[in-house]
Amino acid sequence: MIENRLLKANLAISSGDDPDAVFQHSIFCQTCMPYRDPGEEVRIWERTQGFAHLRMEAGAALNPHTKKWMDVGLPFGPKPRLIMAYLNTEALRAGTPEIEVQDSLTAFIKRLNLSTDGRSIRTVRDQLARLSASDFRLGYAQGDEATTIKATIIMGFNLWFPKDLRQRVLWPSSVKFSQAYFESLVQHAVPLNETALSALSHSAMALDIYAWMAQRLHRVRTRQLVPWVSLHDQFGQGYARLRKFREVFTTALGQVAAVYPGARFDLHEKGMYLQNSPPPVLKKLITKP
């Protein structure tokens, strides 16, 4: 199934049709959210890559039935990456940090050809709730200067709680980006190909590699080596052995190459050589409909 999806995406992208662009913040193109559930006991997640820094802190939401705060875990896996791309795109397209998500998110899920069965929808809703409740700090540090966006990315959200707490489904009907995040997004949005995201939606690592290459390859001036150790630091969460990471990374990179045919790179015993490449989507002006 994955191979067929990648093949169809490759044919569509290689045909030269004007792709639909979705957008990711450059910080999320350089640093990674968890691939797997880190567990309820893990409340803080930090990642650093080059000048980019990410800190996530799990939050809580008020339950209207118990009138008590309920801990919500950290977002993880492919879904929050896709959700952030969707929210970013909707906010940029509308020119406002407030997004109505209940109907439009379902349409986005269908566009990505993700399953819309009950289990899949519950997973999307749960990950959206985790994103909504978490506090984020995004930062850039270079030399003696550092810039930090210290704000909840999603500033406000409405959650629906079922009365049967065993069927916990948290479904934001609307979300609102913090003004600081929205302004930063306008300045640092990286365009991605929606067809490519759909094809890679099975793998958080593949989505991260694709986003990283999308924001980096077009800025490479001369052939540049990224050592295996650096690749492991960035993408190797959960893989203690470098050899095993190399196997998994190589497989994911092959999937990314199928949906980013313009990417120029070489794998080597030393690491990954990057070469100047066109971005997967040319920068597009987002205007209000």
DSSP string covering the chain: -HHHHHHHHHHHHHTT--PPEEEEEHHHHHS---SS---TT--EEEEEETTEEEEEE--EEEETTTTEEEE-----SHHHHHHHHHHHHHHHHHTSSEEE-HHHHHHHHHHTT---SHHHHHHHHHHHHHHHH-EEEEEEEETTEEEEEEE-SEEEE-----SSGGG-----SEEEE-HHHHHHHHHHEEEEEHHHHHHTTT-HHHHHHHHHHHHHGGG--S-EEEEHHHHHHHH-TT--SHHHHHHHHHHHHHHHHHH-TT-EEEEETTEEEEE----SS--------
The yes/no answer on whether domain 2-17+202-275 falls in CATH 1.10.3720 is no
Give domain limits for the chain: 2-17+202-275, 25-189
Report the pLDDT value the prediction gives residue 286, as an integer from 0 to 100. 52
Q: Which of 288, 60, 38 is nearest to 157 (CA)?
A: 60
Dihedral sign for Cα 124, 197, 23, 12, please. Answer: negative
Please enumerate in sequence order all residues whose Cβ is within 8 A of that of 99, keeping only pairs 6 or more positions apart, or say none.
Answer: 87, 90, 91, 174, 175, 176, 177
Residues written for the chain? 289
Backbone φ, ψ for residue 60 (5° rounding): -145, 160
Please state, in angstroms and rounded to a whole number, the distance separating the CA atoms of residues 136 and 126.
18
Report the pLDDT value the prediction gives residue 234, as an integer from 0 to 100. 96
Digitized pLDDT (tens) for each residue of the chain, 289 residues in all: 888 889 988 988 888 766 678 999 999 999 999 999 999 999 999 999 988 999 999 999 887 778 889 899 999 999 999 989 988 998 999 899 988 776 666 777 777 777 777 777 778 878 888 988 899 988 888 888 888 877 667 766 655 555 544 444 445 567 788 888 899 999 999 999 999 999 999 999 999 999 999 999 999 999 999 999 999 999 999 999 999 999 999 999 999 999 999 999 999 999 999 999 999 997 654 544 4
